[in-house]
A and B are shown apart, each in its own frame.
Chain A
Amino acid sequence: MPRVLVLVAQRIALGCLLLLTISILIFAGTEILPGDVAEAILGRTATPENLENLRRELGLNEPTYVRYFQWLCGMFQGDLGSALSSGADISEAVGYRLKNTLFLAAFASVLSIPLAILLGLIAVRYKNRFFDKLISALTLAAISLPEFFIGYVLILLFGVQLAWLPTVSIVGEDMSIGQRLTVTILPGVTLSLVVLAHMMRMTRAAILNVIEAAYIETAELKGLGKFSVIYKHALPNALSPIVNVVTLNMAYLIVGVVVVEVVFVYPGMGQYFVDHVAKRDVPVVQACGLIFAAIYILLNLVADIISILSNPRLAHPK
């Protein structure tokens, strides 16, 4: 079997193992609290008999590891149980909200990834000159700004003062794609700005790292223009570090999405997660935590695989 495939298979296996460990961690972590779900549901109306009945009904008398496997199997089958606070089916709520969140995240990625790479290239091209310094100063300021600050400034400016865009991003099922995009612009731009700053700084560092190599000097000495040196020689070699940078910044995207959704009252996973953490609704928190973790691990896996596949040394073994 080619070495590339072995490496890719190894990474996938490792990712699965990591996800399994995280699921144990999340389940165990939320099980350590004193009292249990039955007490939480019944509250003050609990008597020893109806507590016992409810526990039997919910399967809480089973040992912890049995409940863990039941929970995990349910997860795989798309059955996330029901929320404590409302009794509603979690899968249904998550399905609708996950779509919204992915739409928002995709919007932000489409906006920020090409822009970050472009700005990174420009900063390297004009290294230590005015343009580079300007971009560096702006990104330093941007990574210091909390997401809610950027969000509220944008709302105040474009939503209230100029009244170009809606101030609250309410998404309905029957919205056309145009309406949906209009509603997503402000939260999408906020999220992009946060991610963009981090991503651009790292892209600049990654390209600078490659640019110091000897073959770049050769390319310059043989008379290639600055942009074609970057485009033909530096960029292909910088591809794998850039992919890495992009996925590393997905962490900011995932964290950012939680805060930005709350700022814009956007009906996504982040808002749902935070609401139920405040209500101490353990089944929802477990499900959301695992979904966020799974998305993050998956993104890292994709980055690993892309950097393996884009490495010519692995594709043409000696």
Chain B
Amino acid sequence: MHIWGISPGAFFGLLFCSGIVLSAIFAPLITPYGEAEIVGGVWEPISQKHWLGTDNLGRDLLSRIIYGARTTLTIAAAATLVSFTLGAALGMIAAEAGGFVDQFMSRCVDLLMSIPTLIFALVVLSVMPGTILTLILVMGILDSTRVYRLARAVAVDIRVMDYVEAAKLRGEGRAWIILHEILPNAISTLIAEFGLRFIFMVLFLSALSFLGLGIQPPEADWGGMVKENKAGIVFGIPAALAPAAMIAMLAISVNLIADWILNRTSSLRGKSADA
């Protein structure tokens, strides 16, 4: 059943994800029409000229989906990066510093996590200027709480290891210990989490754009495209489903890959424990 040692689910996931990433990178070369170019009537059905039909303003749906992949993936990736850098740095600092600093930061994180992220994001976005930078920062900071908890938990385990003790006795400073001892040992766990956080960001961004509070038109992004075309649904026009299905497929693919990686690492660990 396995293809090159990869489970069929994960293989499909990898195939789909690389397809999306490649088409996002080469968007201007492969799209038949421009991002905001009006090329036909409103909500034209699927035809040879327009593979997925046209949208609410007569723009080519396929071209917009490919351009939308660019926006959605870039912003979700940027927000994940913010979330990881911030969460991992603060989590490791908290674990290494301990005492009051750790208590204070952990209680702040508890506070941020005590109400659902989307509700918090809506409150904050109601007063912040509606730029892409704000969006990335708000999403990144709110999500960094989860990375913080993970990074702190992993770092607490690592800092009692003998090699960290040795480094301390050598007289290394805290920053050196975090960068040279804790970070390299925690990185594999953090990378495994990266995929799941990234897909959470894609869903989060799409939900915000769908509610009209994410990326502003005319720029194409998948959640926003669902919003643009949602009026057609009640007339039986499925244009809104195409970008929504892309989000769903991407999420399923990343989940399948993450599932496979988790199973693989845990079975490897099991084998080495037996030996």
A residues adjacent to B (C-beta < 8 A)? 18, 21-22, 25-26, 29-30, 32-33, 140-141, 143-149, 152-153, 155-156, 159-161, 167-168, 251, 254-255, 258-259, 262-263, 273-274, 276-278, 280-282, 285-286, 289, 292-293, 296-297, 300
Contact = CB atoms under 8 A, between A and B. Distances in A.
B122 A152 contact: no
Interface of A is mostly: helix
A274 B233 contact: no
Contacts of B233: 152, 155-156, 160, 167
Given A146-B247, A292-B115, A293-B115, A30 B255 contact: no
Interface of B is mostly: helix
B116 A255 contact: yes
Interface of B: 111, 114-120, 122-128, 199, 203, 206-207, 210-213, 223, 226, 230, 233-236, 238, 240-241, 244-245, 247-248, 251-252, 255-256, 259
Which of B126, B233, B245 has the most chain A CB atoms inside 10 A of its CB? Answer: B126
Given A148-B230, A152-B240, A292-B115, 17 more contacts: A29-B124, A140-B255, A144-B252, A146-B223, A149-B245, A149-B247, A152-B244, A160-B233, A258-B211, A259-B207, A262-B211, A276-B126, A278-B212, A282-B127, A285-B123, A286-B123, A296-B116
B24 to A, nearest CB: 19
Given A25-B111, A148-B226, A289 B118 contact: no
Contact of B207 (A33, A140, A147): A147
Which of A21, A146, A159, A293 has the most chain B CB atoms inside 10 A of its CB? Answer: A146
23 contacts: A30-B123, A32-B127, A143-B255, A144-B251, A146-B206, A147-B207, A148-B230, A149-B244, A149-B245, A152-B226, A152-B233, A152-B244, A160-B235, A160-B236, A255-B118, A255-B119, A259-B207, A263-B230, A277-B123, A277-B126, A280-B127, A282-B126, A296-B114
Which of A144, A159, A278, A296 has the most chain B CB atoms inside 10 A of its CB? Answer: A144
A145 B245 CA distance: 8
B230 A289 contact: no
Nearest to B236: A160
Contacts of A21: 111
A22 B203 contact: no
Contacts of B111: 18, 21-22, 25
Contacts of A29: 123-124, 127
Given A277-B213, A285-B123, A153 B241 contact: yes
Contact of A274 (B122, B127, B251): B122
B18 to A, nearest CB: 18
Nearest to A25: B111
Contacts of A22: 111, 114-115
Contact of B210 (A30, A148, A292): A148
Nearest to A254: B116
Q: Which 5 A/B pairs are nearest by Cβ-Cβ distance?
A: A144-B251, A149-B244, A33-B127, A289-B123, A285-B126
Nearest to A300: B114
A145 B247 CA distance: 8
A292 B125 CA distance: 16
Contacts of A32: 127
Contacts of B230: 148, 152, 263
A2 B233 CA distance: 58
Contacts of B128: 33
A30 B211 contact: no
Given A149-B248, A274-B213, A297-B115, A144 B199 contact: yes
B125 to A, nearest CB: 6
A146 B206 CA distance: 8
B259 A285 contact: no
A286 B233 CA distance: 33
Contacts of A153: 241
A168 B123 CA distance: 27
A152 B237 CA distance: 11
Contacts of B244: 146, 148-149, 152
B126 A258 contact: no
Given A26-B123, A156-B238, A146 B115 contact: no
